[in-house]
Structure formats: structure tokens, C-alpha cells
Structure 1
Amino acid sequence: MQASVHEAKTNLSKLIEAALRGERVVITRHGIPAAEIVPARPARVTIGGLKDRLAPPSDAFLAPLSEDELADWGA
């Protein structure tokens, strides 16, 4: 299915529905393909997905760097 930019503005909901049904929806500008409407991919990241899987940082991790470690970082 093809639609001009003007048609896409007017019928966006219908074009989205067509894309969700698996149709190829191409938006044209002056008869030249310019964009394609495709269904969004489901998110792969779950907020809080690592909860209870990671240990809290140790005290050593949060401790200030030693003089030698600071020197290694150029500080």
C-alpha cells in the first residue's frame, strides 16, 4: 500500500492498522518512496529486570581511591 504525505496525514490511523495487519505501507513524497510504516518491536528491556539478581556494591567499591589508584587515573 502506498500513500502520499497528505494522504498519510489524513489517514494515519488506517495506515497504522494496515501495517499491524502485515501490509507494507510506504509513504511517498512527489511519487518517490520516502518512509515506511512498520509495527513497533516489543521492548526487550524490562524495568527492574535485574532486581534481586545483582548484589549491592561492597564497601570497597564505594571507598575513596588510594593515592596510587588516583595516580593511575591521572588525577
Structure 2
Amino acid sequence: MRIVNIHEAKTHLSRLVEQAAGGEPFVIAKAGKPLVRVVPLEEPVVKPAPSRFGFLRGHLKVPDDFDTMGQDEIEKMFYGEK
């Protein structure tokens, strides 16, 4: 495990933290004496969201003419009266 003196750790903290988060832990030492170990946190367990696909199945009915519903009114709005 890499040992870094406290001055170097202060100077390059962002880079060292990124490396530790990426799986490269290190030890911070003062006057050659190890003080702390920096290691990545364990990944939190994330539950997958419940599937929303099909949650209204059986509650709604899509009409057969869904793709042409209101076609006359829409054409009147775009093209005016025929």
C-alpha cells in the first residue's frame, strides 16, 4: 500500500481521493509514522426501482381507432374548413 506524507496529501488531495475511490487505497503518514488509511467506501446497495411497465394493464382500454381519433378536427385546425 502506498504511503504519502501529510504535506503531499494536502497538496494532491483531489487526485489521491480519486485514486482511492478507484480502488487504490493509501496511507497518510506524518514524519514517517502512519496516521490514517484512506480506502474507498463500500458501494451502497441500491434496490432496483419496481418495474412501471404494464402497471395499468387491465385498467385502460385503447380504442381501435386511436391513431385516427380527432383527425377531422385536427385537419380543420391545420387546413381550415374544406
Name the TM-score, length of structure 2 as normaliser.
0.47
Structure 2 gaps of 5+ residues are 46-82
Structure 1 gaps of 5+ residues are 45-75
How many correspondences in the alignment?
A: 46
Q: Which residue of 2 aligns with 1:19?
A: 20
Moved over 3 A (4+): 41-44
Alignment of 1:1-75 (within 5 A): 1-42=2-43
Q: 1:29 corresponds to which letter in structure 2?
A: K
Higher Cα radius of gyration? 2
Two-structure CA RMSD over aligned residues (Å): 2.0
Q: 1:2 corresponds to which letter in structure 2?
A: I
Q: Deviations over 1:36-70 (max 9, x none)?
A: 111234567xxxxxxxxxxxxxxxxxxxxxxxxxx
SS of 1:34's equivalent in the other structure is: strand
* Identity among equivalent pairs (%): 41
The 2-side partners of 1:21 and 1:40 are apart by 10
Change (3 A) 1:27 1:41: same
Change (3 A) 1:42 1:22: closer
Name the TM-score, length of structure 1 as normaliser.
0.50
- Aligned residues of 2:5 and 2:28 also touching (Cα < 8 A): yes
